[in-house]
Amino acid sequence: MPELKLDRVTKQFQNKIAVDQVSLTLKEGIYGFLGANGAGKTTLLRMLCGVLKPTSGEILCNGTEIRKMDGEFRHILGYLPQDFGYYPDFSAKRYLEYLAACKAVPKDLAEQKVQEVLQLVGLLGVQKQKIKTFSGGMIRRMGIAQALLNDPEILLLDEPTSGLDPKERIRFRNIISAMSKDRIVILSTHIVSDVEFIADEILLMKQGQIVEQGTSYEVTESVKGKVWECLVLPKEVQRLNEMYSVSNLRNEKDKVYLRIVSDDSPWEGAVQAEPRLEDVYLYYFKEAAENVENLA
């Protein structure tokens, strides 16, 4: 089993520090990098797969700088980038056979491997169809299939569920869980439910830094005592909404139920509630959540 070690890894683009002194040790398991858009997740993943060179710091695989391992590192790596490219006129099977050749999967093994990954992602029955006839979810599953062709020990998935409906999202999560044994799986996302139940470790990334790290339970506990519930009159809602991070709002007869994430009690009579990972996200990424709302 490989061990990945990041030692003060930093990436600066002109005057923007995208990844800021990140130090981590990653062993077998699923690591969920959770952060708002622009937090630095993609930049970190691109350094991890060797596409980008860190401005400073080192990434070591079993003690050796990955850039010095060259082909050897690529052999144990599978990568699903955010903008995964494919040939729409190829069938799923032909496309994966083509990629298997690009990845130097031995010819006598390639056909079996293609069938194996198609089976794993549930595309065996449609392998002869052209990719252009596939739904978004099927295309993302193809993406995972290609990343698994060389049976990688390290699997990097950048926003793998973007654009998927809830059913496909669940299916995707199950696939990732099923094949995570004996691998390091690194998954970046801004969708809490993608990692809440499957990640062994969650890493919250903000402005290029890891601001929280631990199991889902541990990270959730970090906002214990900061999640509040209260019933207020409708006329109070706007003010509270402007002052606090409201994670849930529901009309209840003549009052409104609010769930608020705040260091201090937002309302006389507010009671503390059990935190959820979603509350943690809101606590750290309030501004980002607001931007998304404004765009919606």
Q: Which two tokens stand for residue 90?
A: 């190829």
What is the spatial distance between Cα 147 and Cα 80, in angstroms, rounded to a whole number? Answer: 6
Given the rule CB under 6 A, which of 12-20, 105-113, 226-234, 245-253 is the region that contacts ligand ATP?
12-20
CB of 161 to ligand ATP, least distance (A): 12
Given the rule CB under 6 A, which of 31-39, 176-184, 211-219, 227-235 is the region that contacts ligand ATP?
31-39
Q: What is the DSSP letter of 196?
A: T
CB of 159 to ligand ATP, least distance (A): 6
Binding mask of the shown chain, residues 84 to 123, with x at each position contacting ligand ATP by CB under 6 A? ----------------------------------------
Nearer to ligand ATP, 39 or 175 (CB): 39
Which amino acid is located at 226 in the chain? K
CB of 104 to ligand ATP, least distance (A): 29
What is the spatial distance between Cα 121 and Cα 175, in angstroms, rounded to a whole number? Answer: 7
Nearer to ligand ATP, 13 or 257 (CB): 13
Nearer to ligand ATP, 42 or 180 (CB): 42
Given the rule CB under 6 A, which of 34-42, 124-132, 217-225, 266-274 is the region that contacts ligand ATP?
34-42
Nearer to ligand ATP, 13 or 87 (CB): 13
What is the spatial distance between Cα 47 and Cα 40, in angstroms, rounded to a whole number? Answer: 11
Calculate the dihedral angle through the C-alpha atoms of 207, 224, 275, 229, rounding to the nearest 10 degrees. -110
Which amino acid is located at 78 in the chain? G
Given the rule CB under 6 A, which of 13-21, 54-62, 118-126, 226-234 is the region that contacts ligand ATP?
13-21
Inter-residue contact 34 to 192 (CB < 8 Å): yes
CB atoms within 10 A of CB 209: 15
What is the spatial distance between Cα 113 and Cα 106, in angstroms, rounded to a whole number? Answer: 10
Inter-residue contact 52 to 11 (CB < 8 Å): yes
Inter-residue contact 227 to 273 (CB < 8 Å): yes
Q: Does 16 bind ligand ATP (CB under 6 A)?
A: yes
CB of 288 to ligand ATP, least distance (A): 10
Q: Which helix (H) or strand (E) holds 101?
A: helix 92-102
CB atoms within 10 A of CB 218: 12
What angle do the packed helices 107-120 and 92-102 form, to 10 degrees? 130
Residues 132-171 that bind ligand ATP (CB under 6 A): 159
CB of 42 to ligand ATP, least distance (A): 3
Binding mask of the shown chain, residues 35 to 64, with x at each position contacting ligand ATP by CB under 6 A? x-xxxxxxx---------------------
Given the rule CB under 6 A, which of 33-41, 143-151, 256-264, 283-291 is the region that contacts ligand ATP?
33-41
Nearer to ligand ATP, 93 or 206 (CB): 206
Nearer to ligand ATP, 12 or 265 (CB): 12
Q: Name 278's Cβ contacts closer than 8 Å, sequence gap at least 6.
A: 192, 247
> Given the rule CB under 6 A, which residues bind ligand ATP?
13, 16, 18, 35, 37-43, 159
